[in-house]
């Protein structure tokens, strides 16, 4: 459910104020945020190409608890007991495509705005629960439309504000009552970076109101939160750390923290020795690890393989 994922492999520091030979979203002269959102013509891969968005991963997880009878304050939204286990497999899929560019910056040699469509899916699979025939416990679907406007603003201590954006996001688990959970949001976002080693992205969202009869989860923003901040640190070419914080911006019993370590596996000789495969270790604690768990606080540890920046 992260609104952005500012993690790309570190490259030598460079500013695209002059023409470069490579024109690609894999351009080694571009900064990580420029490659991710194709902020300049020199980091552009054009429209309607398929790109990664959030991590694509397969992980084995263990948690301190599991939701065996999901419920929400809405009437008719309490499920019957299921003997789920705390050991599971998590599958994350996420892709996006740029559907338009140069909408407001057409002709600018240094900046390129863009409109993206993205789709993400997360599934929790009870792979080790033979007694229950190994069902998928929860699957969340998340299509969204995102507009990104490039910014080049110098900040103190060498930081640069790189982009602002806005989008519309729908998330649901595709279930019928009593398991149905869903919400819609307008999300504002921004990203800044320090050289090519550190980046910070933030998101602030407003839930689109629903009438009480159709609201599956009326307290969702008070649990998952109203804002998110993600910091990514490329320690070296093979290791990266990220931390993501969410909070409701009121009260204390809300939000979450997610800590992740990515270690590069192998190399890709045809891509400047840049491999996209990572060993991914992660610790999550809080609300909203899935829509089914939006109002349940739990701690989850996972180890798996992830594709990034492909």
Q: What is the pLDDT of residue 107?
A: 81
Q: Using a pLDDT cut of 90, give the percent of the chain over it.
A: 81
Average pLDDT of adjacent 10-residue blocks, the chain of 310 residues:
60 46 81 94 94 96 96 95 97 98 90 97 98 97 98 94 98 96 98 95 97 94 96 94 95 90 78 75 97 96 91
> Does the residue 27 lie in any domain?
no
Contacts of 186 (CB under 8 A, 6+ apart): 166, 167, 168, 169, 205, 206, 208
Give the DSSP H or E segment for 37. Answer: helix 32-37
Number of domains composing the chain = 1
> Does the residue 19 lie in any domain?
no
> Does the residue 24 lie in any domain?
no
Q: What is the pLDDT of residue 251?
A: 75
> Does the residue 45 lie in any domain?
yes
pLDDT digits (tens, 9 = 90+) for 259-291: 999 999 987 554 445 678 999 999 999 999 999
Structural domain boundaries, residue 292:
32-307
Which sequence positions are flagged as catalytic?
170, 172
285 and 255 in contact (C-beta within 8 Å)?
Answer: no
What CATH number is attached to the domain comprising 71? 2.40.230.10
Closest CA to 215 of 171, 182, 174: 182
How many Å apart are CA 199 and CA 229, to the nearest integer?
11
Q: What is the pLDDT of residue 106?
A: 85
Closest CA to 216 of 167, 182, 255, 261: 182
Give backbone dihedrals phi and psi of 271, rounded to 5 degrees, phi first.
-135, 45
Q: What is the pLDDT of residue 15?
A: 45
Query: How many CA within 13 A on the CB side of residue 184?
Result: 8
């Amino acid at each position: 459910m992260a609104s952005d994922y500012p993690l790309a492999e570190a490259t030598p520091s460079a500013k695209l104020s002059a023409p470069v030979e490579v024109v690609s979203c894999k351009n080694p002269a571009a900064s990580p945020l420029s490659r991710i959102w194709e902020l300049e013509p020199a980091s552009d891969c054009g429209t309607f190409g398929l790109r990664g968005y959030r991590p694509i991963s397969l992980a084995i997880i263990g948690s301190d608890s599991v939701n065996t009878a999901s419920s929400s304050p809405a009437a008719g939204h309490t499920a019957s007991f299921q003997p789920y286990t705390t050991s599971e497999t998590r599958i994350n899929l996420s892709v996006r495509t740029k559907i338009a560019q140069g909408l407001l910056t057409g002709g600018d040699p240094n900046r390129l705005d863009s409109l993206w469509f993205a789709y993400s899916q997360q599934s929790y699979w009870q792979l080790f629960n033979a007694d229950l025939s190994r069902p998928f416990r929860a699957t969340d679907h998340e299509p969204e439309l995102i507009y990104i406007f490039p910014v080049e603003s110098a900040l103190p201590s060498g930081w640069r504000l790189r982009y602002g954006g806005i989008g519309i996001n729908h998330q649901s688990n595709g279930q019928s009552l009593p398991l149905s959970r869903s919400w819609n949001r307008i999300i504002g976002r921004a990203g800044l970076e320090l050289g090519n080693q550190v980046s910070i992205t933030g998101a602030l969202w407003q839930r689109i109101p629903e009438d009480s009869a159709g609201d599956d989860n009326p307290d969702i923003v008070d649990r998952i939160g109203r804002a998110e901040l993600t910091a990514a640190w490329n320690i070296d070419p093979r290791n990266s750390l990220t931390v993501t914080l969410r909070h409701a911006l009121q009260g204390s019993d809300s939000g979450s923290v997610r800590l992740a370590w990515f270690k590069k596996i192998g190399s890709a000789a045809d891509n400047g020795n840049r491999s996209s495969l990572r060993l991914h270790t992660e610790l999550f604690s809080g609300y909203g690890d899935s829509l089914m768990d939006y109002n349940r606080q739990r701690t989850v540890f996972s180890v798996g393989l992830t594709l990034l920046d492909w």
